[in-house]
Structure 1
């Protein structure tokens, strides 16, 4: 592995010629490791946003290298072999994404002091806040209103809050995200999920003692930018580093949350699909059991009807044999035998012939009777046909009229 020794002056020239992230891709050291090396060697580094200004053609100030330094005077760096990890030892996903965002030449992460071509959401919020500032005291916390971005700041911090929000919105839109205002709340749409968004000036609790002791809350000039979705949240607050210089870190955290949302949604979909598939299978099994039972019950009924139809035909044949043996085959008996056999065909599930007089009767309904002999319309056919005593419809009308 080829190694190069850099003097303090050479390393200074190097870090002011290209970004630390770009240098970390060329040399086998992380950008954070390079930053620490520069600190040990007393080498000043460009401020955040320096390289974006360079790309935009803006004038920038270069910090001079102090000659008074008694620490390390040189560093030895090896060139990175193609295919090795981009950062020495690896970076956390959030820091890696943050560096990617900061090195994107298409993004302007610099928060200005005045609004330039503001987003439509910012224009509406500015109008609302300025209108309310005319009707309120200087130290009152102003609210942009339920129909606007959720910005709550005192009069002196309106412009700063709007500039921060405008820069953030433009960067997020450029990276494919969007915003929506619903039911009085502002939301960032990221990975098809909504995160509630608020930019507020925090307040300090003050106990006032006059005639009665009371508690007041006064705006303290510290801004807090927060995003929430159920148990997930991301935020940044003014501290040693102002919000203006924390946007890349905040955006990286939000986008990683977005990736988590995608994974959770995919897992939820898999669970839902599995649940629906199991429910479908259970329903199919239940329906199949119901169908099987219904079909078997019908099979049982059909077999009983078939057997009863066979018995019925045997009975009809026996009557015919008996009457023939006695010499009583009359026209009336012939008609009855034809009628009886048609009824047997109607009742037999294998024949299932039609019968105009029984078209509204289900043959299976007759199977529910405990005993066919209990029917009120039952005839003692053996005795009746032997004696010749029958009523219509067994006796044809033309025979009946001759009697």
Structure 2
């Protein structure tokens, strides 16, 4: 679009500069440079705000004393897509914390099952058996002051994973009993076998145990000796699980809830249950995604192997065709070479016959030799391939090759070669016939 000086002046005083910049795809500084180069005044700061509020504003008139060379400006309107025209809405709300939401939901329904009792009331078979097993292990030690007699009898072989001191066994079992009760309230379950204790949450397994942190014995003479560490009185609830994130294989993870300076493990039962439920959903989703990746990877590998097999088959076929082509060409060249050599023999025989006629040499032995040579040419010719009683024993290509010159090894061999070279040969020295 070509605008005159007056048209550009009317334009910048009819719309804000920011609107014009978006309309023509130009920066505010670039539009102001065009106006400045043609001595066009622009609205001052606050002009459009005052105009919008109904206040009186002064419009600067276009100067008539402009003497510059630039009288026109070219501006191109740009088309805005629907996406660009749509306003971008920014959500300033904080991200949702699933852990906190689920904890609030659990606390709003039934709080009693998440409260750890101050005194252990062993009604759960697993709790009873774990306590009995702990007592029996203590009876075998030298200093046993814990439960000399117990009314409970062990019903099952496997017990809960609890690794604490004698002082905290009741507290640890109370926490475990509450966790089991909370899991069953949420329609989950618990499993105990030789490998360990597992919480079954939404079809996923979490290995759980309670341990007591150990610290260095302050009375120890060697501060670096960790073999004689003592129990610190701080309990830990450990949750081990397997994740399937990324392209890697299964990875093991551990989440620990523990006593701190201001909190106790008993106050974190809701957090433990909420964590396992949320993590179970995440693990299930990760497993499905991992399975989809595995299937896709196997499909890609199958396609790749198929392409490799096709490529190997093509290369094998190409190599076989090459060998067949080479063998065919070698056979062609061998037969052509035989024909070429047979024709050389025939040409030589004709020359020999012409030589005998020109010199009026009539020798019966010579005629026999020439007839013999014609038979040998027919024997070598691939189109005739006449049988030969003596030469059929040899390879036609090998015996038709020219002999290699043997190196002179000694003075005696040189003399013998010279003597043998002077012997008469019908085919090598036809001029001897003329002498005779």
TM bracket, shorter-chain basis: 0.3 to 0.5
Larger fraction in strand? 1
TM-score, length of structure 2 as denominator length: 0.41
